[in-house]
Amino acid sequence: MPLTLDQLNSAPADAALPLLDGLYEHSPWIAEAALAQRPFVSLAQLKFILAQVVSSAPLEAQHGLIRAHPELAGKAMVSQSLTAESTHEQSKAGLTNCSAEEFAQLQQLNADYKAKFGWPFVLAVRGPRGLGLSRAEIIATFERRLRGHPDFELQECLRNIHRIAEIRLNDKFGVSPDLGDRVWDWQEHLSQYSEAPGQLTVTYLTDAHRACAAFIREQMQVCGFDRVAVDAVGNVVGRYDGMTAGQTLLTGSHYDTVRNGGKYDGRLGIFVPMACVHALHRAGQRLPFAIEVVAFAEEEGQRFKATFLGSGALTGDFNPAWLDQRDADGVSMRNAMQQAGLCETNETNTVLKRIASLQRDPAQYLGFVEVHIEQGPVLNALNLPLGIVTSINASARYQGEVVGTACHAGTTPMNQRADAACAVAEFMLACEQRARQDGDSVATVGQLLVPNGSVNVVPGRCQFSLDLRAPSNAQRDALQVDLLRALADICAQRKVSHHLTESMRASAAPSAPEWQSRWENAVASLGLPIHRMPSGAGHDAMKLHDIMPQAMLFVRGQNAGISHNPLESTTSDDMQLAVAAFGHLLDQLAQVSSVGSNSFGQVD
Ligand SMILES: [Zn+2]
């Protein structure tokens, strides 16, 4: 019989501890400390509390926990002396069926890892979906993490230990994140469409992109949307009608990717609401408002420089000059649109008229919400599955150049140089220091070039980029004023000249307070702490912000939250929580509309 939260909450202390036996390898102190915080309102809360116990334990105890783990495919597995839980996990990942070569490779990795870090390599081998990683994935992860820094690797081992405990806990409670699995599987399926072999690249209106649209459209139909269509810019739009013809909740995210990107960026925000609509449809339930889920065709600006084209079309922001932009193969956007069957003609007036008709009337909408993978390390480091976005950061970008004097590297004394690259280097450190002062501002020099530089020449020119972001326009502007002044001072002191051109500027998109608080209520209802954070990345929500209230929910990424990278990952358990939070938001809106409903409730 699976364990229930009621049983766990009501058991006397000495009877409760054995109920959580085996969650953390040979370390009952963790469950013991967590049980002191009973009652738990949800499994998600229990998992968080367990992780908190470990985070607040002394370093020695954390090391002890890691050392209590067996090596992967190690001697303990061979001699069958693993715990029952570890045996199950290692066999599920196929480690008991290693070829002689794989086995030898793992032994070498075990030895190298132990020599470098002093503890065994810990990996949640059942993976983000719980089905087991492949041996190739395990070996690749092992090799990658072997190159890591010990401080990072210690935390990464602990995070994997929490993931192992999460899966063990699900098993104990007989819980499986079915809706999260569904969302995970959709994304896995969608990731097979790519224009580059061996990596995930889906750019605007390529064959892979159109295959993605077709799959999303088909799945929306399966989910029970009343109307599903591809619009004039390639957005896939699914509409689930309300009880009456009233207002509509708008939601969604993008399905295009950067080159060699991750499987969840954008797509998660399409599939989470789809899972909710599917659940409503199966329950034969209608809400007092309609739900419109839009899979935006273009957000990343990869094939054409037309970032946010998909969501911009809904706000009436489409630049007609884009139609004549050509991709790397010389294909114009207007021809790409015609080839994709979005318009029978490529004639300007007709195309623009069709696109203009996509503009939404804000009076018809309640607001816009977007679920997105965090794309950063914050939630992962806090052991929190969900975060609430307070604002999409304001940004400004520049291209700059410092000009000094190119001269002989051997004959020019250090005090008689005008080194352009040194000036930029000093400026970079000033950026780092100034942005840090704010706590939540960021400043990045991502491109650095010494044109025609040579090993024996003092750099006479140095070109660079500058990217500034902050949660409010005022904070960004203050950062900008200080950094531009710092650049001028550094250049004056070093007797070099400089120029800087602004290439992009975007206003902050603060979350609408009532919508942000709906996400907060939803997260609190799951028994999880509320963590508010700005979004450092731009999202479709910042376009919709121009015409209606918006707020976003972030979902934790694995692998320290890495994104725009094939290592981007999140678990089906976290996706389940995102679906539950979205369902709770729908329930809140339904209650405001005076008709109660409670079809999602808690995951557990
Ligand atoms: Zn995105």
- 256-269 tens-digit pLDDT: 999 999 999 999 99
- Cα(84)–Cα(86) distance, integer angstroms: 6
320 and 352 Cβ atoms separated by less than 8 Å = yes
**Paired sense of beta strands 550-555 and 394-403, if any:** unpaired
Q: CA dist 221 to 185, 340, 413, 572, Å?
A: 17, 21, 73, 23
Per this entry, what is the length of the chain?
A: 604
State in Å: Cα 374 to ligand 1 middle: 9
Determine the distance separating the centroid of ligand 1 and the alpha carbon of 307, expressed in angstroms: 11
Reported confidence tier of residue 594, pLDDT bands at 50, 70, 90: low
Residue 139 CA to ligand 1 centre (angstroms): 29
Give the chain's largest Cα–Cα span.
Answer: 83
CA distance 183 to 179: 6
Return the structure tokens found at 38. Answer: 């009973």
DSSP state of 456: T
Residue 309: which pLDDT band, with cuts at 50, 70 and 90? very high
Q: ∠ CA(462), CA(465), CA(466), 5° rounding?
A: 125
- Taking 50 as the threshold, does the pLDDT of residue 603 lie above it? no
What type of residue is 328? Answer: A
CA of 556 to the centre of ligand 1 (A): 14
The strand pairing partners of 442, in sequence order, are 469
CA of 269 to the centre of ligand 1 (A): 9
254 alpha carbon – ligand 1 mean position (Å):
6
Residue type for 221, please? Q
Q: Which residue has the tokens 């008689």?
A: 416
What is the distance in A from the centroid of ligand 1 to the CA of 420? Answer: 36
User: Do 369 and 584 form a contact (C-beta atoms < 8 A)?
Assistant: no
β-partners of residue 467 are 397, 444
Per-residue pLDDT at 462 exceeds 60: yes
* Average pLDDT of every residue of the chain: 95
Measured in angstroms, how far is the CA atom of residue 379 from the centroid of ligand 1?
Answer: 17
Could you tell me the distance, in angstroms and rounded to a whole number, from the CA of residue 80 to the centre of ligand 1? 45
pTM for this model (two decimals): 0.93
Q: 529: CA distance to ligand 1 center in Å?
A: 25
In this prediction, residue 330 has a pLDDT band, given cuts at 50, 70 and 90, of very high
Say how many Å lie between the CA of residue 259 and the centre of ligand 1: 13
